[in-house]
Amino acid sequence: MTPAEFLRHLAQLNTHQRRGRRAPHKPLLLLFALGRVLRDRDRLVRYAEVDRRVGDLMRRFGLPRSAVRPQYPFRWLLSDGLWEIPRYAELRKNASGDLYVRQLRDLGVEGGFPERVHDLLRVDPGLAWRAVEEILHGHFPESLHREIREAAGIRGERMASEAEDSSATPTLREREVDPPSFYSYPARRRRRDPLFRRRVLDEYMERCAVCDLDIRFGAMPLGLEAAHIQWHSHAGPDEVVNGLALCLLHHEAFDRGALGLEERRGTGFNVLVSHDVRESRGEAAGSLIEFSGRRIRCPRTESRAPARPFVDWHSSEVFRSPPL
């Protein structure tokens, strides 16, 4: 398998995405496996560890209100040519072709990248990093990328030893910010509108739509971002009606599903706070909980307020209901 063929397999990953619906289970298993490659772990891993580690990833970054079943991507990634279960032929399956969890555990069943894929990634860690970035950009918003990488065991420090002999090697600090930036494999990402951020921030008068944060560094707003309501990775358009100006905290909380939106009978939207948000020592949790039920900041132009279809997508695919 060549690097181009491997990336083509990633681009054609069968995740059953329809109408922007999320299907993060196979991507999360692949990120877990790529993390093992970049840490020089064995090619094959027992299902019991997949159940624990990928199950945790699914709980944190998967679909809300969805059962956690790592056995599904463990089995169905086989059809994409990116996974191998050496004992697959001898395992019992149900009528749908699914494997039995107890069997996977009791027999110590292992799975992992096929040898040709694993060997390719081992000799070319830059390709592994490119795969990580392609999966993240294809299935998750940028606000979550660093946290997902760390949860999957993928760390920028690894790059120091991989490319230390290259005269073009960037500094460790640069690698931690964007580890694969010096590799030239072609990206397959949907193009973004470079004016989206400026238009959204202008429409919300450069203030956070949730907390009204208005900190400036010179003439520029500080700590303010343009968030997609329906994620860009899931067919969300770069339009103001699919955007919110949010501070760093409330952007991450919105993308994690800790915050959501509820329509106010045609007069705007209220903030929803997930019941999973808990008070802790300090005031961090309070900075979310105190906004529960409050109306978000309205944009300058009424017709550019959040559009209901995008809010509905976020409510079903991201927000961790029930609200407080």
> Following DSSP, what letter does each residue of 150-184 receive, concatenated?
HHTT--TTHHHHHSTT-TTPPPHHHHHHSTTTT--
Q: How far apart are CA 273 and CA 65, in angstroms?
A: 15
Q: Is the Cα dihedral 84, 74, 88, 42 positive or negative?
A: positive
Residues contacting residue 41 through CB under 8 Å, at least 6 positions apart: none
* Cβ neighbour number for residue 156 with a 10 Å cutoff: 19
Mean pLDDT over 36-50 rounds to: 97
11: enclosing H helix or E strand: helix 3-11
Q: Indicate the pTM of the whole model.
A: 0.87
Mean pLDDT over 115-139 rounds to: 95
- Give me the pLDDT at residue 193, please: 93
Q: Is the Cα dihedral 279, 283, 287, 291 positive or negative?
A: positive
Alpha helices in 112-241 (DSSP H): 115-123, 125-139, 145-151, 158-162, 172-177, 196-203
Residue of 168, 166, 162 lying closest to 126 (CA atoms): 162
Q: How confident is the model at residue 17 (pLDDT cuts 50, 70, 90)?
A: low
Asked if pLDDT for residue 180 goes beyond 90, the answer is: no
Residues contacting residue 66 through CB under 8 Å, at least 6 positions apart: 58
Rounded CA Rg of the chain: 21
The token pair at 188 is 């397959």
Residue of 67, 86, 41, 263 lying closest to 49 (CA atoms): 41
- Give me the pLDDT at residue 18, please: 62
126 touches 181 (CB < 8 A)? no
Per-residue pLDDT tens over the stretch 257-314: 999 999 987 678 999 999 999 876 666 656 789 999 999 999 999 999 999 999 999 9
- Give me the pLDDT at residue 150, please: 96
